[in-house]
Amino acid sequence: MMFSRNTMFAAAAVVYGASSGSAFAPSNSVGNVISRSAPSITQQQSRQYSSTKLNMAGPAQVDLTGKVAFIAGVADSSGYGWAIARSLASAGATIIVGTWPPVLRIFQGGLKKGSFDADSDLPDGSKMVIEKVYPLDAVFDSPDDVPEEIKNNKRYAGLDGYTIEETAKAVEADYGKIDILVHSLANGPEVTKPLLETSRKGYLAASSASAYSAVSLLQKFGPIMNEGGNMLSLTYIASEKVIPGYGGGMSSAKAQLESDTKVLAYEAGRKWGVRVNTISAGPLKSRAASAIGKEPGQKTFIEYAIDYSKANAPLEQDLYNDDVGNSAMFLCSGLARTVTGVTLYVDNGLHAMGMALDSESMRKD
């Protein structure tokens, strides 16, 4: 497949969609989400060795009642962040979110008008409730980091307390402790540029917004997380394989994120008893992603990516944002109590393929 640079710009949505609703998928319903709880484990001793026997008392269930989940990077109902929030809500979790200040009022207005009601349905017939929306700009760790140009920017007018440190303190004041922390954020100002043309400023900006923001979130929220909690982030296959057009240092930032997931799993596990994992999702079609990279008479990058996945992935089926949401629910539940430091691929197995089956060279004469 050959793409122009403008068309390939759509690749940004593959990961940036996590933060601003461009997470490639029509959001219809959570699907068959089953309420579950962690199985009991009993240990039996023998004279030769110690064995662990897993006793399942009925069907496994996920029950997150009483758990508080903070999802950073929710701005509409079509992205991964929303799907994760809805899956967690379906299991009983209390949902609070952090939204980028420039779009905060638009998002809050949409919630009040019921613009997202159709995407809020839960399996029991109720609607997901977002208990509180906090302004959050994750490129700023503390108030001292906010430059005057941001403070005086009309898009931030009337807002304060949107740094990571301030948001964590506000959440602590409102809820005390939380159990689930989701990093659904990414941005690269020079994503359309090849790496060879990326400036130092653009490269570091991508790293700051897409990778270090996760480190900072855990630094500030870790102390108010209950033991056994889980932090989850979203990554993309460009961290390990070449995706032409996904430039500006974004592929490097995602590689950082995956590496940091392992280090943070160790450090946060020992310090707070918190697990840290990330999900690498395949292409999904959202409203925002569909609008990027469209050229007259051609498919968008996302449409190409979905077609490519269907032609080459082991599983020939559609991938929805709810698939990511349900996988996230597992990782954030007690069923995954021993799972940490993991990159979980939710992509119909596309990551496992080393050859494009629909390549011209694979066609039989």
pLDDT grade for 295, boundaries at 50, 70 and 90 = low
pLDDT above 50 (res 75): yes
Chain segment 194-224, per-residue pLDDT in tens: 999 999 999 999 999 999 999 999 999 999 9
d(CA 42, CA 118): 43
Which among 100, 228, 233 has a CA at the least distance from the CA of 167? 100
Phi, psi of 218 (to 5 degrees): -70, -35
Q: What is the pLDDT of residue 318?
A: 87
Give the per-residue pLDDT at 360: 76
For 29-53, write each residue's pLDDT tens digit: 333 333 333 344 344 333 343 444 4
- What does DSSP say about strands 343-346 and 94-99: parallel, antiparallel, or unpaired? unpaired
* Measured CA distances, 348 to 96, 114, 162, 282 (Å): 30, 33, 37, 7
pLDDT digits (tens, 9 = 90+) for 213-268: 999 999 999 999 999 999 999 999 999 999 887 889 999 999 999 999 999 999 99
Please name the residue ranges forming H helices in 26-100: 80-90
Predicted confidence at residue 220, as pLDDT, reads: 98
The residue ranking higher by pLDDT, 12 or 331, is: 331
Distance between CA atoms of residues 9 and 33, nearest Å: 34
Q: Which residue has the tokens 């064995």?
A: 51
Give me the residue label for tokens 């029991």. Answer: 124
Query: How would you label 122-161 residue by residue, b for 16+ Cβ within 10 Å and e otherwise?
Result: bbeeeebebeebbbbbbbbbeeeebeeeeeeeeebeeeee
Q: Is pLDDT above 50 for 57?
A: no
The whole-model pTM stands at 0.83
Please state, in angstroms and rounded to a whole number, the distance separating the CA atoms of residues 361 and 365.
10
Q: Which residues are catalytic?
A: 236, 246
CB contact at 8 A, 137 and 128 = no
Cα–chain-centroid distance for residue 276? 13
Q: Which two tokens stand for residue 192?
A: 């359309």
H or E stretch including 53? strand 50-55
Amino acid of residue 266: Y
Query: Based on C-alpha coordinates, what's the Rg of the chain?
Result: 21
